[in-house]
């Protein structure tokens, strides 16, 4: 990656650290998209060490499926490899938010970049809920990126995972804005090399060779999701007990809409949230 990109990532690290420190000060910033859009299993194909696209990433308008509605928390908790799956918050909480994500998905970047402080606050900061991240690889480098994120979680812990994923999405959102404003002819998408460089800047030493040991976990998580009819990202499910989800959202929505629904459905206490 170019020196300018590396410098930009360093700046982003400082910004993200401030966001995490101040908790909820920035999570109500809306995105420019009001309709629910998600990247499906036929997402864009990219090439090269820095992934680019000459047009906006392909997407589909989605509604949640019957299979997703029938999925229960008991199903999630019996999923193979759950103990190694990135999770924030108390492991025994019956209030659970499941994030189905792809680190190379632009809609995941827009949604989670805006709501990550909220998710971190209700889980890691205040232990009101558990947040489980289930990776669904759709884009060309998604599998390698998910391998690295799983490695970071298991080697360095939940906070390290959250930091790296948050900076990755912040980097992606910056590039999306540059593309939408016409300042770059191509959308520069993150790759596995982006994750490695971000991790290195944050002091986490990982390699793709070491991360390849998590390919089995990535594949088993993907198969679990597909078997339950979950084929697009981002997908958000909220559980309040062992039964079916009390809230399902597929695709990109306004951050305030998502935050309010999660707050109300799970009876969360969040300063500044008025729904």
CB 57 within 8 A of CB 33: no
Residue ranges and CATH numbers for the domains of the chain are: 36-265 (3.40.30.10)
Widest distance between CA atoms in the chain: 50
Lowest-pLDDT range of 31-45, 96-110, 139-153, 190-204:
31-45
pTM of the entire structure? 0.80
**Euclidean distance between CA atoms 250 and 225, whole angstroms:** 13
Q: Which helix (H) or strand (E) holds 236?
A: strand 235-240
The residue assigned the tokens 């390849």 is: 212
Lowest-pLDDT range of 47-56, 138-147, 260-269:
47-56
- In this predicted model, which residue has the larger pLDDT, 216 or 55? 216
pLDDT greater than 70 at residue 3: no
Task: Report the percentage of the chain scoring pLDDT > 70.
Answer: 75
Lowest-pLDDT range of 33-47, 165-179, 218-232, 258-272:
33-47
For residue 43, CA distances in Å to 83, 151, 166, 263 come to 29, 24, 21, 31
**Euclidean distance between CA atoms 110 and 165, whole angstroms:** 13
pLDDT of residue 70: 82
pLDDT one-digit tens code per residue, 133-159 = 999 999 999 999 999 999 999 999 999
pLDDT greater than 90 at residue 22: no
Query: What pLDDT band is residue 127 in, cutting at 50, 70 and 90?
Result: very high
pLDDT greater than 90 at residue 164: yes
pLDDT one-digit tens code per residue, 204-257 = 999 999 999 999 999 999 999 999 999 999 999 999 998 899 999 999 999 999
pLDDT greater than 50 at residue 11: no
The pair of three-digit structure tokens given for residue 84, joined into one six-digit string: 């190694």
> Span 14-21, mean pLDDT?
41
- The SS3 of residue 229 is coil
Average pLDDT over the chain, rounded to whole?
83
pLDDT of residue 93: 95
CB 132 within 8 A of CB 153: no
pLDDT greater than 80 at residue 186: yes
- In this predicted model, which residue has the larger pLDDT, 86 or 53? 86
- In this predicted model, which residue has the larger pLDDT, 64 or 69? 69
3-state secondary structure 139-171: CCCHHHHHHHHHHHHHHHCHHHHHHHHHHHHHH
Query: What pLDDT band is residue 274 in, cutting at 50, 70 and 90?
Result: confident
């Amino acid at each position: 990656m170019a020196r300018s990109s590396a410098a930009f990532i360093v700046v982003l690290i400082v910004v993200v650290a401030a966001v995490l420190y101040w908790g909820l000060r920035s999570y109500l910033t809306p995105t420019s998209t009001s309709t629910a859009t998600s990247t499906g299993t036929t997402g864009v194909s990219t090439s090269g060490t820095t992934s680019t696209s000459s047009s906006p990433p392909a997407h589909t308008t989605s509604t949640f499926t019957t299979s997703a509605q029938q999925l229960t928390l008991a199903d999630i908790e019996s999923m193979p490899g759950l103990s190694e799956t990135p999770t924030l918050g108390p492991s025994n909480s019956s209030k659970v938010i499941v994030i189905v994500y792809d680190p190379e998905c632009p809609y995941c970047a827009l949604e989670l970049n805006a709501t990550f402080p909220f998710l971190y606050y209700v889980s890691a900061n205040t232990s009101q809920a558990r947040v489980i991240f289930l990776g669904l690889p759709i884009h060309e480098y998604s599998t390698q990126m998910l391998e690295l994120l799983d490695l970071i979680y298991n080697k360095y812990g939940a906070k390290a995972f959250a930091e790296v994923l948050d900076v990755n999405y912040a980097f992606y959102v910056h590039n999306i804005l540059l593309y939408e404003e016409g300042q770059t002819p191509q959308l520069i998408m993150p790759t596995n090399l982006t994750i490695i460089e971000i991790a290195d800047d944050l002091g986490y030493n990982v390699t793709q060779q070491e991360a390849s040991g998590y390919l089995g976990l990535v594949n088993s998580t993907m198969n679990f999701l597909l078997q339950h009819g979950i084929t697009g990202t981002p997908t958000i499910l909220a559980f309040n007990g062992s039964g079916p989800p009390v809230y399902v959202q597929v695709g990109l929505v306004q951050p305030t809409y998502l935050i309010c629904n999660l707050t109300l459905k799970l009876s969360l206490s969040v300063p500044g949230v008025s729904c």
